[in-house]
A and B are shown apart, each in its own frame.
Chain A
Amino acid sequence: VYWITISVMFICMLSVCAPASAQGLIFGDMTAVSRVHLDPDTDFPRDELEPHATLFYTGDFGHTKVLGEYSANKHDSHVGRAQLGWSVDSMNSLWLGRMHNPTSYWRTRYHHGSYLQPTISRPAISEFEVDDGVLPAHITGVEFDGEHVLMSGAVRYTATAGFGDKLDEDGLKVPDVFEGGRGLHDSSYALRLSWLPDPLDGNEIGIYAGFNHIDSHVPGLHEVEQALAGFFVNWDWRSLVLTSELIGVHNRANPGSDSGSFVSGYVQTEYILTPKWSLNLRLENTWSNGDDDYLSEFNNFAEKRGLLGVRYDITHNQALKFEYDHSRRQDEEEFSQFQLQWSFVFP
């Protein structure tokens, strides 16, 4: 199935000519971080300067569409998305390639574009693999997504199946887009349903569920079967935007033996003071009874965090953000950090 998918993608790419319309975007950001109250023997740096860039391209060839996203920071660079899509009709599309796992509202809304995020940081449960994320964020395979108009609103749906992440001692890893030797032991499946009272604005409330076979290279943890289900809401009252997710995860490590589970969630409010200034507050928490061998592999995961931030839009494509947060990591280390970020999108 993998090589058939790659072959079909290649043939389709050869058949496409000049796009009817195309657009590229460059997202960039520079973040300065300063941490206080760290343990004396911590492995976390006290001060950091983090540059990050994302290149994005999309081309529309009529009924065919391509979409690509490449993200790089000083630790890692990877293809975030490389998708080839067919418009089944004006409301439904079939995609092939590398895409973001739809079992996260935050990740599939902002992807790697820091400028679009109201805050500098993502909620810990929505982090990408490279930033110590605990849930697989990428799938290489097939996705069907669309909308069905119902009364004055719409039901939006996404179904995805493909190959997912691997686990090693440094955490989850995004595999290469073109990588052979895959099987059921690294497959991922996801489904998402949401209701939009007005399909043309951002208000959305929905549910998702997924199942991931995670191929593990951690000693004593050969494979993880992960089932998850979640709820999300994004509601915009013009001057106040509420975004929240709650997700339950059940992990079965070394199939047939140990299993564990945890629940994680966040509530974020964005208060728009003026067209240029906004104030953000976010509370995150993870509930676990400590029996999850899988979760215990992620020492840097922030299981509890309170955050206060402010955003100033310098121009229509540049923003300055400042935030303070207090976090407790999975290894029980607690600290506070100040972050200042300049972000932009071009053009």
Chain B
Amino acid sequence: MRRWRCLVLAVCLLGLLVAALGASAAGKQQLFLVIGQETELAPLTTTELRRLFLGFTVDREGQPLRPLINRNDQLSYQVFLQTVVGMSARTYERQLLSQLYRRGIQPPPVYTSLRKLTDALKAQPGTVSFALGDELEEMAGVKSVQVLWEQSSR
């Protein structure tokens, strides 16, 4: 009887541990660089990512990459601003406007709909964007190329 009690206790503890680990994994937030399923892309350096999302040309195998801004979710945009371009929204948007006006450098197109962003990523090879893990799950035909940022909820 005592052995059974110990076994039940051990199973309960194991269950709690698995649940805790599961909760930890579920609470882990990640921002991914994403691209259409059919395209292959080697990870980009921090400088290449900044250049790309500030509207400057970044090539891969002679083909220019085309960045898209994901504004479906306020959190993913804020994380992108802090970790990829390192600017406040005000400074980033003013910089894009200023470059367009000064030198005709086209700013990356902005998408507020996840469905339209997914379609755009799949339509043209070399088109890249960023998305949080839960957004990526909704983007059928889109894959992650690299992790741009991650944070555990614990």
User: Is B90 engaged at the interface, CB distance under 8 Å to the other chain?
Assistant: yes
> In the complex, what residues of B have CB within 8 A of residue A200's CB?
50-51, 54, 56, 85
Q: Say yes or no: B101 contacts A85, CB within 8 Å.
A: no
Point out residues on A near B: beta carbons under 8 Å: 21, 23, 25, 56, 58, 60, 65-67, 85, 90, 93, 108-109, 111, 113, 116, 145, 200-202, 275, 313, 316, 345
Query: Which residue of A is nearest B53, CB measured?
Result: A200
Q: Say yes or no: A111 contacts B88, CB within 8 Å.
A: no
Residues B65-98 near A (CB distance < 8 A): 85, 87-90, 93-95, 97-98
Contact code string B88-123 (vs A, CB < 8 Å = 1, else 0): 111001110110111110110000000000000000
Distance of A202 Cα from B94 Cα, bound (Å): 11
Q: B59, B85, B95, B102: which contacts A111 (Cβ < 8 A)? A: B102
Q: A60, A85, A145, A345: which contacts B106 (Cβ < 8 A)? A: A60
Q: Say yes or no: A116 contacts B106, CB within 8 Å.
A: no
User: Is B24 engaged at the interface, CB distance under 8 Å to the other chain?
Assistant: no
Q: B59, B98, B103: which contacts A90 (Cβ < 8 A)? A: B59
Q: How many A-B residue pairs have CB under 8 A?
A: 47
Q: Say yes or no: A65 contacts B101, CB within 8 Å.
A: no
Distance of A264 Cα from B95 Cα, bound (Å): 28
Q: Say yes or no: A116 contacts B98, CB within 8 Å.
A: yes
Query: Which residue of A is nearest B47, CB measured?
Result: A200
Answer whether A56 and B106 are a contact pair too, CB < 8 Å, given A202-B95, A275-B88, A316-B93.
Answer: no
> In the complex, what residues of A have CB within 8 A of residue B103's CB?
67, 93, 145
> In the complex, what residues of B have CB within 8 A of residue A56's CB?
101
A26 to chain B, nearest CB (A): 12
Q: Say yes or no: B100 contacts A23, CB within 8 Å.
A: yes
Query: Which residue of B is nearest A57, CB measured?
Result: B104
> In the complex, what residues of A have CB within 8 A of residue B98's CB?
109, 116
Query: Which residue of A is nearest B57, CB measured?
Result: A90
Q: Say yes or no: B104 contacts A67, CB within 8 Å.
A: yes
Seed contacts A56-B101, A200-B85, A316-B93; 4 additional CB < 8 Å A-B pairs: A25-B101, A58-B100, A201-B87, A201-B95
Q: Say yes or no: A21 contacts B106, CB within 8 Å.
A: yes
Distance of A41 Cα from B101 Cα, bound (Å): 41
Q: Say yes or no: B101 contacts A111, CB within 8 Å.
A: yes
> In the complex, what residues of B have CB within 8 A of residue A93's CB?
103
Distance of A90 Cα from B59 Cα, bound (Å): 9
Answer whether A58 and B97 are a contact pair too, CB < 8 Å, given A90-B59, A275-B88.
Answer: no
